[in-house]
Amino acid sequence: MKGWIVFYQFMKATVGSAMRVFYQPWVRGANHIPETGPAILASNHLAVIDSFFLPLMIRREVVFLGKSDYFTGKGVKGKAVAAFMRGVGTIPVDRGGGRASEAALRTGLKRLNEGGLFGIYPEGTRSPDGRLYRGKTGVARLALESGAPVIPVAMIGTNIAQPIGKRIPKLVRIGVVIGEPLDFSRYRGLENDRFILRSVTDEIMYALMQLSGQEYVDMYAATVKSKIAKGMSIEEATTPSMTPPAAPGGRPTPVLEVPEPSDEEVEEGKRVAGEALKWPLPGSEKSARTDEDEKEPPSAD
């Protein structure tokens, strides 16, 4: 078993146990994660801790891309953060676009071709205000080139626990809502058609909007953050936007509601997290690993 897998399991069994006790995460739709085979987990992105809680609620190992800044901190604290991010299966990426974006795609394809789970945040960055932003088409290219199903995952409450700028999360119950797999095999071979890529991406974002209950903003989150950095308010930065607000793809917006857990889902969260925290994990994907897995290239979506 490769060293990083051992560390991944160790982190889930130790830090994960503490997160389970203090945050009491709940889950809905855990049965939609396949026990074997490749799949893309496409999640909304509200806070840094999204990358911690989602692996906690999944028995299988999942690899996410994370900005390289998390791995370049100095001092004891910086090294601890880097070690933790690697421990939960995060691959450092340069989000500069161009070659970096292509490298991210190759990293994801490699993981999927090995039969593993690959996590991606279609928005490309954390939401600046808790709303759902326009998805980048990298997730669609990944789905069409790999043929793997896309499983939409909505994180609930992580932005309340850890607003942007807050390092230590508050004790707030976190939810994970996992949707039914989306099959895009009908578009196989059309990964270079930008209209198809946009259509597939919008379908994924629509599913995320329905699962999370988030209001949708038809702008890229990175663009909005750039405007805010120049002194604009969030209201100014997101104007003009479609009025009345529309869903991804310009469709009418359905009635949205942020999910609340039932007693059964709270209990299911305890059970699923307990199963995921068993160490070492039965059925580990160690057979698919090579030494090169620890040398993924910088990449981004």
Residue 176: helix, strand or coil by DSSP? strand
User: Do the domain assignments include residue 300?
Assistant: no
In this structure, is residue 154 part of a structural domain?
yes
Residue 23: per-residue pLDDT: 77
Radius of gyration (Cα) for the chain, nearest Å?
18
In a domain, 294, yes or no: no
- Decide: pTM greater than 0.85: no
Question: Does any domain span residue 298?
Answer: no
- Residue with the larger pLDDT of the pair 157 and 22: 157
pLDDT for 224: 92
In the structure, what pLDDT confidence band is assigned to residue 293 with cuts at 50, 70 and 90? very low
pLDDT grade for 69, boundaries at 50, 70 and 90: low
Alpha-carbon distance 97 to 280, whole Å? 37
Across the range 113-134, mean pLDDT stands at 93
Which CATH number fits the domain that encloses residue 178? 3.40.1130.10
Which of 172, 197, 187 shows the shortest CA–CA distance to 261?
Answer: 172
Per the structure, the complete domain to which residue 39 belongs is given by 3-284
- As a whole number, the mean pLDDT across the chain is 81
What is the token pair recorded at 79?
A: 């090294």
Q: Which of 26-40, 170-184, 281-295 has the lowest mean pLDDT?
A: 281-295
Q: What angle do CA 36, 37, 38 make, to 5 degrees?
A: 135
Q: Is residue 91 part of a domain?
A: yes
Backbone angles phi, psi at 210, to 5 degrees: -65, -40
pLDDT value at residue 37:
95
- Convert the pLDDT of each residue in 130-167 to its tens digit: 999 999 999 999 999 999 999 999 999 998 888 787 77
What pLDDT, on the 0 to 100 scale, is given for residue 292? Answer: 40
- DSSP helix/strand/coil, 283: coil
Number of domains in the chain: 1
State how far the Cα of 82 lies from the Cα of 92, in Å rounded to an integer. Answer: 9
Task: Single out the residue of 257, 211, 195 nearest to residue 42, CA to CA.
Answer: 211
pLDDT the model gives residue 16: 66
